[in-house]
């Protein structure tokens, strides 16, 4: 990723698009704009997009459906959903289908930029620091923090979103420990008070499903009135120099 990440802003409100674009450019981002779903696919094909800000309500379809389609196509571009809807269920659905974060309208542009930077920090690390990072072996899987990748026992890639990968690493760093929802919120989202407790349950469900598809059926335990526990043994081999 370049020093000036390129963000695709998708919203059918012209004024909101201009407001977001102007503020983000002042903060050092490059910006692409789209007003409907059809334009998103075109922008992705013709530009290197590092993150998508996606409104839920678009004139030619739902942003939720678009998010689902991108994930089904195995796109790992981070997505932050914007919604004017008050119901928490829409935010939960967004997380269930693979969004990395969400923000309700109206919002402060400074908060949006903070969310963008937090999501982008989950991206792959490079340089000497990354080469020194350990990788994890568990139940036949290999998780590599430097590449932010997971492979299953057959060597196939397990496509995780940034939030799912962060959650997995949180458990791999603490094998055998029972972690409550509050602890997981603090460890994965920095104690953001607006993050829903239910979002952890949604992320756990997504992570379990994806690892189960790779052959790990009982890797996590749900502890009644306690939280969640990684049941697999974790091995951290020395990384070759």
Residue 166 belongs to domain with CATH number: 1.10.10.10
Three-class DSSP category at 26: helix
Q: Is the confidence at residue 143, as pLDDT, over 80?
A: yes
Residue 241 lies in a domain: no
Q: For residue 100, give its domain range.
A: 6-120
Q: Clarify whether residues 105 and 152 are in a common domain.
A: no
Domain count, the chain: 2
Q: Clarify whether residues 33 and 139 are in a common domain.
A: no
Top-confidence range, 47-56, 67-76, 208-217: 47-56
- Better pLDDT: 190 or 176: 176
With contact defined as beta carbons under 8 Å apart, do 54 and 82 qualify? yes
Q: Clarify whether residues 78 and 114 are in a common domain.
A: yes
Which residues contact residue 189 at a Cβ distance below 8 angstroms, ignoring those fewer than 6 apart?
195
Residue 197 lies in a domain: yes
**Residue 113's CATH number:** 3.40.50.2300
CA angle 192, 114, 13 (to 5 degrees): 110
Residue 53 lies in a domain: yes
Q: Is the pTM of this model over 0.85?
A: no
Q: Clarify whether residues 49 and 15 are in a common domain.
A: yes
Residue 202 lies in a domain: yes
Residue 240 lies in a domain: no
Q: Clarify whether residues 76 and 93 are in a common domain.
A: yes
* Cα torsion angle, 52, 122, 45, 97, sign: negative
Q: Clarify whether residues 55 and 116 are in a common domain.
A: yes
Give dist(CA 112, CA 103) in Å, integer.
Answer: 7
Residue 150 lies in a domain: yes
Residue 185 lies in a domain: yes
Q: Is the confidence at residue 241, as pLDDT, over 70?
A: no
Residue 90 lies in a domain: yes
Q: Clarify whether residues 27 and 109 are in a common domain.
A: yes
pLDDT band (50, 70, 90) for residue 239: very low
Q: Clarify whether residues 114 and 141 are in a common domain.
A: no
Give dist(CA 101, CA 87) in Å, integer.
Answer: 16
**What pLDDT is recorded for position 142?**
93
If you search the block for the tokens 């059926």, which residue do you land on? 217
Q: Is the confidence at residue 145, as pLDDT, over 80?
A: yes
* Cα torsion angle, 201, 190, 125, 75, sign: positive
Lowest-pLDDT choice from 95-109, 179-193, 199-213: 179-193
**What pLDDT is recorded for position 7?**
96
Q: Clarify whether residues 62 and 134 are in a common domain.
A: no
């Amino acid at each position: 990723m370049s020093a000036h990440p390129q963000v695709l802003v998708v919203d059918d409100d012209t004024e909101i698009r201009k407001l977001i674009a102007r503020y983000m450019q002042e903060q050092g981002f490059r910006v692409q704009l789209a007003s409907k779903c059809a334009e998103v696919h075109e922008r992705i094909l013709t530009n290197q997009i590092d993150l998508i800000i996606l409104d839920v309500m678009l004139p030619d379809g739902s942003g939720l459906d678009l998010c689902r389609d991108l994930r089904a196509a195995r796109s790992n571009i981070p997505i932050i959903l914007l919604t004017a809807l008050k119901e928490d269920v829409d935010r939960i659905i967004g997380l269930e289908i693979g969004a990395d974060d969400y923000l309700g309208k109206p919002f402060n542009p400074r908060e949006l930029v903070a969310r963008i930077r937090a999501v982008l920090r989950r991206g792959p690390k490079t340089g000497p620091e990354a080469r020194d990072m350990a990788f994890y072996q568990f139940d036949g899987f290999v998780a590599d923090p430097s590449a932010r990748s997971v492979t299953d026992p057959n060597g196939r890639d397990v496509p995780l979103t940034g939030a799912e990968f962060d959650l997995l690493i949180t458990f791999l760093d603490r094998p055998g420990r029972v972690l409550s929802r509050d602890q997981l919120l603090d460890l994965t989202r920095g104690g953001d008070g607006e993050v829903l407790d239910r979002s952890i349950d949604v992320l756990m469900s997504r992570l379990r499903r994806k690892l189960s598809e790779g052959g790990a059926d009982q890797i996590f335990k749900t502890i009644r009135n306690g939280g969640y526990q990684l049941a697999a043994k974790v091995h951290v081999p020395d990384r070759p120099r």
